[in-house]
Amino acid sequence: MNWGYFKAYDDGVTITASKPIQIEGIGLYVPTELNRVISGTVSLEMESKDDGKTSKLASVAGYMAATSPGVVNKIYQAMFEAPVSLQAEITYTIHLN
């Protein structure tokens, strides 16, 4: 799997899998200070090879702090409602907006 930073958004990572995979969610490190919080929506998007437009495949809103439910070993588990199948050699982007 490859990854890269996507400059059109403040926080994003692009991925391309070499084989088909499924993604159920992502893990985000939380702030370690007790009074710090990150909130936003994690989304998974696919870029069209034809016209370069993106389509949102899944998203989940989150409120991420050191004491949030779902935090394991300082990682917030942002789980999508259902697993998403990713095709091989297609560019996908994960955003936190």
For 25-54, write each residue's pLDDT tens digit: 998 888 888 788 888 889 999 877 777 778
- The answer to pTM > 0.85 is no
What CATH number belongs to 2-96? Answer: 2.60.120.820
**Which two structure tokens, joined as six digits, stand for 57?**
């495949």
What does the alpha-carbon distance between residue 55 and residue 94 come to, in Å, rounded to a whole number? 12
Domain boundaries, the chain: 2-96
| Backbone dihedral angles phi then psi of residue 30, each to the nearest 5 degrees | -95, 160
**Cβ atoms of residues 20 and 85 within 8 Å:** yes
